[in-house]
């Protein structure tokens, strides 16, 4: 499994950014056959971190390029500067057992 993490340090209206991503970016990400998940974490008033998970490294790279374009087209009025980006192979993961998660 592979992940790309984007950290937006100066995001005006994280709620609006999340609403737009849910309506516009998530459908794009779901088109990838190896898409595993997308998470947005709010940290403070102006920081958002997104985590996108895929089965393959090629899918991460393709999705990153599509996401960069989407952010420029749809969030440029809310974002100051470029996000910090980290991507790579997930070397460990854990989830709650199904009976706990339900």
**Domain residues of the chain, as ranges?**
2-92
**What average pLDDT does range 73-85 have in this prediction?**
87
pLDDT at 2 over 90: yes
Classify residue 81 as left (phi > 0), alpha (psi -120 to 50) or beta: left
Q: Say which CATH class 2-92 falls into.
A: alpha beta
- Strand 2-8 to 35-43 pairing: unpaired
Give the HSE-up count for residue 16: Cα atoms under 13 Å, Cβ half-sphere.
Answer: 10
The dihedrals phi and psi of 2, each to the nearest 5 degrees, come to -130, 155
Model pLDDT for residues 5-28, shown as the tens digit of each residue:
999 888 888 888 889 999 998 998
pLDDT band at 101 (very low <50, low <70, confident <90, very high): low
pLDDT at 69 over 90: no
Euclidean distance between CA atoms 7 and 9, whole angstroms: 6
Give the residue carrying structure tokens 């090629």. 58
Q: Are 53 and 61 in contact (CB under 8 A)?
A: no
Report the pLDDT value the prediction gives residue 72, as an integer from 0 to 100. 87
Euclidean distance between CA atoms 1 and 37, whole angstroms: 11
pLDDT at 102 over 60: no
pLDDT at 1 over 70: yes
Strand order in the sheet with 47-54: 35-43, 47-54, 2-8, 84-89
């Amino acid at each position: 499994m592979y992940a790309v993490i984007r950290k937006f340090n100066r995001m005006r209206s994280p709620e609006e950014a999340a609403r737009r991503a849910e309506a516009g970016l998530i459908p794009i990400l779901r088109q990838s056959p190896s898409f595993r998940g997308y998470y947005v974490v709010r940290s403070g008033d102006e920081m958002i971190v997104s985590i996108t998970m895929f089965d393959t490294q090629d899918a991460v790279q393709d999705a990153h390029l599509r996401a960069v374009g989407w952010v420029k087209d749809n969030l440029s009025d809310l974002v100051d500067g470029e996000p910090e980006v980290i991507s790579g192979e997930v070397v460990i993961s854990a989830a709650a057992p199904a009976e706990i998660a339900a």
